[in-house]
């Protein structure tokens, strides 16, 4: 049995969502953030030394990093569903957008979150630089979704599961106005209509209204 160690309001929502989309059974172990620091509780370090979520356990296996967990589940339990093969015309797009989430978009949001908390002057070069990189990343997502229903193309894939957290729940920590991004907002509306997404969010974060606009 797959066990998903899920920290509330975190990237581990991706793993619940994947399992719901694939119709896979799993056990959910939920952890709460510290009310003051908003950090993960020490109990997660008993599962994996870094103490971050998501963590997947299956028998003796302990696996961290959401992208690695998604690849593992799709390959071992999903029959390859929600991933595109090298023979698919959109394979390169799938790979790019699957890795774009944690390689580009999420780090830019994290850096902006930290610098915003430092209350730097609005004209600080480092702040302006990080804001500019995030804007370019969002502009790229917006442009892509102006030409395709989903990030890899016409099909919903794990690339979408990897990316949506940054556009939704991450905004609890890094406020972001999506008003200028009509294609992103339309995309999030499509995502929010998916039964798998609704089930995952209800199970993982029942008190959170998904930030889909």
Q: Tokens representing 66?
A: 């959401």
Closest to 4 measured CA to CA, from 46, 52, 76, 53: 53
What is the pTM for the complete model shown? 0.95
* pLDDT of residue 160 exceeding 90: yes
Q: What is the pLDDT of residues 7-50, one digit of tens each?
A: 999 999 999 999 999 999 999 999 999 988 888 999 999 999 99
Residue 169 clears pLDDT 90, i.e. is over it: yes
pLDDT at 53: 96
Token pair recorded at residue 136: 């370019």
pLDDT of residue 139: 98
Strand partners for 27: 3
Cβ–Cβ < 8 Å for 53, 7: yes
pLDDT in the model for residue 198: 98
pLDDT at 24: 98
Which pLDDT does position 10 carry in this prediction? 96
Is pLDDT of 128 > 90? no
Helices (H), 55-147: 66-76, 91-100, 106-117, 125-145
Arithmetic mean of pLDDT, 87-102: 98
In this predicted structure, the answer to whether residue 125 has a pLDDT above a threshold of 90 is no
Rounded to whole angstroms, the Cα distance separating 157 from 136 reads 23
Enumerate domains of the chain plus CATH numbers.
2-83+198-204 (3.40.30.10), 91-194 (1.20.1050.10)
CA distance 106 to 86: 26
């Amino acid at each position: 049995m797959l066990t998903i160690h899920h920290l509330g309001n975190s990237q581990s929502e991706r793993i619940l969502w994947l399992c719901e989309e694939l119709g896979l059974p799993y056990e959910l172990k939920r952890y709460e953030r510290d009310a003051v620091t908003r950090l993960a509780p020490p109990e997660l370090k008993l599962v994996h030394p870094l103490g971050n979520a998501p963590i997947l356990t299956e028998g003796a296996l302990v696996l961290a990093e959401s992208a690695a967990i998604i690849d593992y589940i799709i390959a071992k339990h999903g029959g390859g569903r929600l991933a595109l093969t090298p023979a698919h015309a959109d394979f390169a797009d799938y790979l790019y957008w699957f890795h774009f989430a944690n390689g580009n978009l999420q780090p830019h949001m994290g850096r902006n979150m930290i610098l915003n908390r430092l209350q730097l002057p609005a004209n600080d070069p480092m702040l302006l630089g990080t804001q500019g990189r995030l804007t370019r990343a969002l502009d790229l997502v917006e442009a892509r979704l102006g030409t395709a229903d989903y990030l890899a193309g016409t099909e919903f894939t794990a690339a979408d599961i990897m990316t949506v957290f940054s556009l939704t729940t991450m905004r609890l920590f890094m406020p972001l106005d999506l008003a200028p991004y009509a294609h992103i907002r339309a995309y999030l509306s499509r995502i929010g209509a998916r039964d798998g997404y609704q089930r995952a969010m209800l199970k993982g974060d029942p008190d959170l209204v998904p930030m889909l606009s």
